[in-house]
């Protein structure tokens, strides 16, 4: 009888291998033990709470602004990538969901007034995360408008005023761009793609590749993911619980209950101005991020609408 004695190192490898096999077996049991009667959302919630990961199931019908995504392997794999990235990037997606409670009511109303499909609110989400961001390329605000584009669409951009950070004015500028792009390309999906790469850049690729559909184009890495990212956020935001986000109504940020006043004069100190309304300089800037300096030279007596607390206004209230 021959006895084989394993060295301590080999024993450790042996038991480690057994542990891995057993763990995989248990994990498989957990996944297959989920009842078939569970909905997509219940399966996601079950696995997210049990620290197991699965491929995120795709919606049955997929469309952007009423334009259907093709049901082919390339499109489904591209969307699957973005669904997984945003479903499992928990902290980022959760914060964007919370911010949507504050900014979506404003954006949705303007989109409706301007005749832009409601789905385009998700374009703002992927552009900025609904945060007043400034990109390395110089794009700014919730809609990430470049300075030249913003000026072309009627926004004021200088050292003291930057209306790319003004949610209402920037949203209307973005709407104007999207309407122009839709008229040029005849498709909301192509209009969305052009928002990322520019109308001229998109037109060049359509001509070069002899295509007329976004989903048939071979584009740069950012633009080829762009529409799929919008779609992914659309479906996650519409059914957050179905994708593992157990967010309650009270978890969403509330819209600001501000009052709008009109000024048409110089402001020597926004800090002093804020104190008139029992706000700090910081609060005034958070509610009016488009005010870019600590003062305002207004030699031509241009009218500006400023958000202030709804209580005890001391200046003339805009009717």
Question: Is the residue at 35 inside a domain?
Answer: yes
96 and 214, same structural domain? yes
Q: Is the pLDDT of residue 31 over 70?
A: no
Instruction: Note the pLDDT of residue 274.
Output: 97
124 and 39, same structural domain? no
210 and 139, same structural domain? yes
124 and 242, same structural domain? yes
Tell me how far apart the alpha carbons of residues 143 and 171 are, in angstroms, rounded to a whole number: 7
Q: Is the pLDDT of residue 25 over 90?
A: no
Instruction: Note the pLDDT of residue 162.
Output: 98
142 and 68, same structural domain? yes
Question: Is the residue at 56 inside a domain?
Answer: no
Question: Is the residue at 200 inside a domain?
Answer: yes
Question: Is the residue at 231 inside a domain?
Answer: yes
207 and 67, same structural domain? yes
What CATH number has the domain bearing residue 98? 1.10.530.10
Q: What percent of the chain has pLDDT over 90?
A: 78
229 and 157, same structural domain? yes
Question: Is the residue at 196 inside a domain?
Answer: yes
pLDDT band, very low/low/confident/very high, at 40 (cuts 50, 70, 90): low
Q: Is the pLDDT of residue 291 over 80?
A: yes
Helix (H, G, I), strand (E, B), or coil: what is residue 140?
A: strand
Question: Is the residue at 239 inside a domain?
Answer: yes
Instruction: Note the pLDDT of residue 51.
Output: 61
pLDDT band, very low/low/confident/very high, at 4 (cuts 50, 70, 90): very low
pLDDT higher for 191 or 54? Answer: 191
Once rounded to an integer, what is the mean pLDDT over residues 280-285? 98
Once rounded to an integer, what is the mean pLDDT over residues 164-172? 98
Instruction: Note the pLDDT of residue 319.
Output: 30
Please state, rounded to an integer, the average pLDDT across all residues of the chain. Answer: 87
| Of residues 197, 265, 244, the one with CA closest to residue 83 | 244
For 299, other C-beta atoms within 10 Å of its C-beta total 7
**Contact call for residues 244 and 91 (beta carbons, < 8 A):** no
pLDDT band, very low/low/confident/very high, at 135 (cuts 50, 70, 90): very high
Residue 311 sits at φ, ψ, to 5 deg, of -95, 145
Domain count, the chain: 3
Domain boundary pick from 228, 251, 274: 251
Q: Is the pLDDT of residue 306 over 50?
A: yes
Question: Is the residue at 1 inside a domain?
Answer: no
Q: What is the pLDDT of residues 78-132, one digit of tens each?
A: 999 999 999 998 999 999 999 999 999 999 999 999 999 999 999 999 999 999 9
Domain boundary pick from 231, 251, 271: 251
Instruction: Show the tokens assigned to 273.
Output: 């101005």
272 and 151, same structural domain? no
Ranked by mean pLDDT, the top range of 3-17, 49-63, 239-253 is 239-253
Q: What is the CA radius of gyration of the chain?
A: 26
Q: Is the pLDDT of residue 270 over 90?
A: yes
Instruction: Note the pLDDT of residue 54.
Output: 79
Domain range enclosing 239: 63-251
269 and 235, same structural domain? no
**Lowest-pLDDT range of 38-52, 82-96, 213-227:** 38-52
Question: Is the residue at 104 inside a domain?
Answer: yes
Q: Is the pLDDT of residue 281 over 70?
A: yes
Domain boundary pick from 251, 267, 290: 251
Strands 304-309 and 258-263, how do they pair?
antiparallel
Once rounded to an integer, what is the mean pLDDT over residues 129-136? 94
Q: Angle of helix 90-114 relative to helix 167-185, nearest 10 degrees?
A: 70
230 and 92, same structural domain? yes
197 and 81, same structural domain? yes
């Amino acid at each position: 009888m021959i006895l084989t004695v394993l060295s301590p190192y080999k024993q450790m490898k042996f038991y480690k291998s057994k542990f891995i096999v057993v763990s995989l077996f248990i994990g498989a049991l957990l996944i297959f033990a989920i009842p078939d009667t569970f909905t997509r959302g219940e399966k996601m919630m079950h696995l997210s709470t049990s620290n197991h990961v699965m491929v995120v199931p795709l919606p049955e019908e997929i469309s952007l602004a009423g334009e259907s995504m093709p049901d082919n392997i390339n499109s489904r794999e591209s969307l699957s990538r973005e669904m997984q990235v945003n479903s499992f990037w928990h902290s980022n997606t959760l914060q964007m969901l919370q911010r949507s409670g504050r900014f979506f009511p404003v954006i949705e109303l303007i989109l409706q007034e301007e005749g832009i499909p409601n789905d385009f609110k998700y374009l703002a989400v992927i552009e900025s995360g609904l945060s007043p961001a400034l990109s390395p390329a110089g794009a700014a605000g919730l809609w990430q408008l470049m300075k030249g584009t913003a000026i072309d669409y009627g926004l004021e951009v200088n050292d003291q005023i930057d209306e790319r950070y003004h949610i209402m004015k920037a949203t209307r500028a973005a709407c104007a761009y999207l309407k122009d792009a839709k008229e040029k390309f005849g498709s909301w999906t192509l209009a969305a793609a052009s928002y990322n790469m520019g109308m001229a850049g998109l037109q060049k690729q359509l001509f070069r590749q002899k295509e007329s559909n976004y989903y048939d184009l071979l584009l740069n890495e950012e633009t080829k993911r762009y529409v799929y990212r919008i779609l992914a956020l659309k479906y996650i935001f519409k059914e957050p619980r179905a994708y593992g986000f157990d967010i309650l109504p009270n978890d969403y940020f509330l819209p600001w209950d501000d009052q709008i006043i009109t000024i048409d004069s110089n402001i020597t100190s926004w800090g002093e101005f804020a104190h008139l309304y029992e706000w700090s300089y910081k609060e005034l800037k958070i509610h009016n991020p488009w005010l870019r300096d600590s003062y305002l030279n207004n030699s031509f007596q241009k009218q500006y609408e400023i958000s202030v607390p709804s209580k005890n206004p001391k200046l003339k209230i805009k009717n």
